[in-house]
Amino acid sequence: MRRLPVLVFSMFALLALSACATAQEGAVDTGNTAPTPAAASEPAGSAPAAGGGGCSVSSEAAAVTVNIQNFAFAPAEVTAAVGETIGWKNADSAAHTATTYDGGCDTGNIEQDATVGLVFDAAGTYPYHCNIHPNMTGTITITE
């Protein structure tokens, strides 16, 4: 008779651990995600490239730096010109990403004390978030 509670508890624990692993991989929505805005809105007279504009990882010195600290992007809103590097420097102990909502631009994981830069090739406004911590949000404005 004592085996039944132990068995039930073990199965519950296994399911809970399984759910945690899946949530870490991003497959489960925890309900803490920010609403998904449109991928990019273009300033008057310009349009981002197909798919919300493109970007590439850059090792160039950042023209604009976003500090990641206390699970927040600072400043949360930045402006740069097409072709300028925006750098994200992670001062947190946890890894973070800077990912546009359409997924077209992504820094990949930025580990503690690392900096990753992106260069955008089209003018527009690009809301972004951290894929690991979706409550972390920001906006990139790229000008001509």
Assign 57 a pLDDT band (cuts: 50, 70, 90): very high
Q: Tell me what pLDDT residue 35 has.
A: 41
For residue 141, how far is the Cα from the chain centroid? 16
Given a cut of 90, is residue 136 above it in pLDDT? yes
Strand locations in the chain (E): 55-58, 64-68, 73-74, 77-81, 85-90, 99-100, 115-120, 124-129, 137-143
- Backbone torsion region of residue 103, taken as left when φ is above 0, otherwise alpha when ψ lies between -120 and 50, otherwise beta: left
Kindly report, residue by residue over 39-53, the tens digit of the pLDDT. Answer: 443 333 233 333 346
Assign 63 a pLDDT band (cuts: 50, 70, 90): very high
Domain parsing of the chain, residue ranges: 55-143
Q: Tell me what pLDDT residue 34 has.
A: 42
pTM, to two decimals: 0.65
Given a cut of 80, is residue 117 above it in pLDDT? yes
Assign 21 a pLDDT band (cuts: 50, 70, 90): very low
Please give the class, per CATH, of domain 55-143. Answer: mainly beta
